[in-house]
Chain A
Amino acid sequence: MFPESFQVHVAPAVNRFINDLIAAYAPVFDSISAGILSFLLTVSEILVFIPWWGYILAVGLLSWYSSKKFVASIVLAALPFLIGMFGLWAMALESLSIIITAVLMALIIGLPVGVLMAEVRIIATILRPILDGMQTMPSFVYLIPAMMLFGLGRVPAVLATLIYALPPVIRLTALGLNQVPKPVEEAALAYGATRWQLIKEVRLPLAMPSILAGVNQTTMMALAMVVISSMIGARGLGQEVLLSINRIDIGRGFEAGISVVFLAIVIDRLTQNMAKRWEPPKR
């Protein structure tokens, strides 16, 4: 056994630090929390307002519009119906609202940061190791700081999801911008493009497929995280999974688990098809 006399604990120091931090910056955390919450509630209200068949219709039509595949669209539209059949509709909407909120926030933050990363060498040098670290960290580690600063519930869930899902948007935005063919960029400069015009007219549109791939990844990661964040008290499909684990109710766990998979498939297909539509025409 490791000798007890060697034990040194940093836990009290960490606790004290967090307590002091919260005490000192309470208004800041409160306003962040309130901001996220009101955003989340708005998203959630909109989601609840849409009737269930609206989702089925929207998924089917969007899929048809973006892929022009009939059978695939029907199958895709059937998936949310199955979730409803399991009686998990409300739970799924709960999860979806957290995902959408986190992804929108990830885009609002991630796109400009990605552009900066592609444009300014120093920022890229600083950000790259941080992003690497963020992505290698086990996802539920993010729960700790989120929970410490914002307590339990939906707000820290959104925050943890946001932090976890942010790296791919930033990374793929920067990558897409840097992958623009040299001759195209040179031609734009030769015709008198300013730096901003170059970004807006040439680099961003050409980077769009890569950026949307980032959105896709981000959404998928957000979905994974939303399940895990049930550990800090976020309601939704994750909570169902967690409950059935605790009660060893395999059947119920299966329904919840497969619903998460259905949700993932729908989101993945739709965002991927959208990404394809943005690719420059091949003919």
Chain B
Amino acid sequence: METPSEAIVIRDLWKIYSRKKDLRISSSDVENEERVEELDKGEDAVVAMKNVSLSVNRGETFIIMGLSGSGKSTLIRCLIRLVEPTSGEIIVNGENVTMMHKRELVDFRREKIAMVFQHYGLLPHRTVLDNVCFGLKLRGEEKEARRAKGVEALEQVGLKGWEKYYPASLSGGMRQRVGIARALVMDASILLMDEPFSGLDPLIRRELQDEMIRLQKEMHKTIFFVTHDLSEALRMGDRMAIMKKGEIVQVGSPDEVIASPADEYVAKFVQDERDQVQRAEQVLAREHTRKEAEAHVS
């Protein structure tokens, strides 16, 4: 058994996508370094995740960051096996996810974990409330009970009164609130979020980040959060991992990563943020001297 302080443990996780029908890739391919290189170079397969090991503590918000195509979505989908890992081990709450049979996996997805998607994934033919209750319905809960929970969750994300609308009549930000409510209502201890705010404009994004931070203060869930936006990572994350071409290049607290980037790739990511901080400091300093000067004059 795992030590209970770790909600998610990932060991030596690999994912190689096959792009050809008859090309089957198994864990034995991963063990052979030359074979991996060959696949990586060729057109027939994509090595999306290489040898990823991580552990996420209970109650923390863990950020995965990386450029487009670095394998973030692959990693987060592997956690509930929406993507089948090629090899490696995933342990969630002490349960070995990689070993689960179909039925166990369905139960695991229904009970232990909830996910929020970049493209919302709402059902267009169901009302907002039915969308929120969807997971509970799959789980087989009674209609009255799940409606009550759904209404409560909608209130939590600030969508009271929108129960009877359809997703098409909602703005992007509101749709994602529905997505979040759908995850919260499951009452799972682990929340997976794959770039949940990337498609939203900056003001709404900020609003939803604040909302998540506020909710997290009450909920203390374990949040596994994928983003490619460093400022988002800094606001939300307790710890973060940076991915590059399928590999983890650095793990640490946001401060650590900014202060001492592990390599050039990370440094480039961080550079922007540093520039901004610098500029903000300059502006503040200028403002300060201007104010002082004004005070002198008067």
Q: What 1/0 mask marks residues of chain B from 112 to 127 whose CB sits below 8 Å from any chain A CB?
A: 0011010111111100
B contact residues around A189 at 8 Å (CB): 82, 109
Choice from B114, B168, B186 contacting A281 with Cβ under 8 Å: B168
Choice from B80, B106, B117, B168 contacting A280 with Cβ under 8 Å: B168
Q: Is the CB of B135 within 8 A of A192?
A: yes
State the CA gap A197–B102 with chains docked (Å).
Answer: 14
B contact residues around A197 at 8 Å (CB): 138
**Would you give 9 A-B contacts (Cβ < 8 Å), ordered by A?**
A183-B117, A184-B123, A187-B122, A188-B123, A189-B109, A191-B115, A191-B135, A192-B135, A280-B125
Q: Is A206 an interface residue (CB 8 A)?
A: yes
Q: What 1/0 mask marks residues of chain A from 178 to 191 whose CB sits below 8 Å from any chain B CB?
A: 00000110111111
A contact residues around B119 at 8 Å (CB): 183
Q: Is A201 an interface residue (CB 8 A)?
A: yes
Q: Is B139 an interface residue (CB 8 A)?
A: yes
Q: 8 Å CB contacts to A: which residues of B199-228?
A: none
How many chain B residues touch A (CB < 8 A): the figure is: 28
The residue of chain B having its C-beta at the shortest distance from the C-beta of A202 within the complex is: B123
Q: Is the CB of B168 within 8 A of A184?
A: no
State the CA gap A206–B122 with chains docked (Å).
Answer: 12
Q: Is A247 an interface residue (CB 8 A)?
A: no
Given contacts A192-B106, A192-B135, contact A280 B121 (CB under 8 A): no
State the CA gap A184–B107 with chains docked (Å).
Answer: 20
Q: Nearest Cβ distance between residue B162 and chain A, in whole angstroms?
A: 13
State the CA gap A280–B130 with chains docked (Å).
Answer: 14
Q: 8 Å CB contacts to B: which residues of A189-241?
A: 189-194, 197, 201-202, 205-206, 208
The residue of chain B having its C-beta at the shortest distance from the C-beta of A280 within the complex is: B124
Enumerate chain B interface residues (CB-CB to A < 8 A): 80, 82, 106-111, 114-115, 117, 119-125, 134-135, 137-139, 166, 168-169, 182, 186
The residue of chain A having its C-beta at the shortest distance from the C-beta of B108 within the complex is: A192
B contact residues around A69 at 8 Å (CB): none
State the CA gap A205–B139 with chains docked (Å).
Answer: 19
Q: Is the CB of A192 within 8 A of B107?
A: yes
Q: Is the CB of A192 within 8 A of B115?
A: no
A contact residues around B135 at 8 Å (CB): 191-192
State the CA gap A205–B127 with chains docked (Å).
Answer: 13
B contact residues around A281 at 8 Å (CB): 124-125, 166, 168-169
Q: Is the CB of B80 within 8 A of A190?
A: yes
Q: Nearest Cβ distance between residue B297 and chain A, in whole angstroms?
A: 59
State the CA gap A190–B190 with chains docked (Å).
Answer: 13
Q: Is the CB of A283 within 8 A of B107?
A: no
Choice from B109, B166, B169 contacting A191 with Cβ under 8 Å: B109
Q: Nearest Cβ distance between residue B119 and chain A, in whole angstroms?
A: 4
Enumerate chain A interface residues (CB-CB to B < 8 A): 183-184, 186-194, 197, 201-202, 205-206, 208, 280-283
Q: Is the CB of B139 within 8 A of A192?
A: yes
Q: Is the CB of B138 within 8 A of A184?
A: no
B contact residues around A201 at 8 Å (CB): 123, 134, 137-138
Given contacts A184-B121, A192-B106, A192-B109, contact A280 B138 (CB under 8 A): no
The residue of chain A having its C-beta at the shortest distance from the C-beta of B103 within the complex is: A194
The residue of chain B having its C-beta at the shortest distance from the C-beta of A279 within the complex is: B125
Q: Is the CB of B169 within 8 A of A188?
A: no
B contact residues around A190 at 8 Å (CB): 80, 82, 109, 114-115, 117, 121
A contact residues around B186 at 8 Å (CB): 191
Q: Is the CB of A188 within 8 A of B134?
A: yes
Given contacts A186-B121, A187-B115, A187-B117, contact A283 B168 (CB under 8 A): yes
Q: Nearest Cβ distance between residue A125 and chain B, in whole angstroms?
A: 12
The residue of chain A having its C-beta at the shortest distance from the C-beta of B186 within the complex is: A191
State the CA gap A192–B111 with chains docked (Å).
Answer: 8
B contact residues around A206 at 8 Å (CB): 123-125
Q: Which residue among A187, A197, A282, A283 has the maximum number of chain B CB atoms within 10 Å of its CB?
A: A187
Q: Is the CB of A186 within 8 A of B166?
A: no
State the CA gap A194–B104 with chains docked (Å).
Answer: 11
State the CA gap A140–B109 with chains docked (Å).
Answer: 54
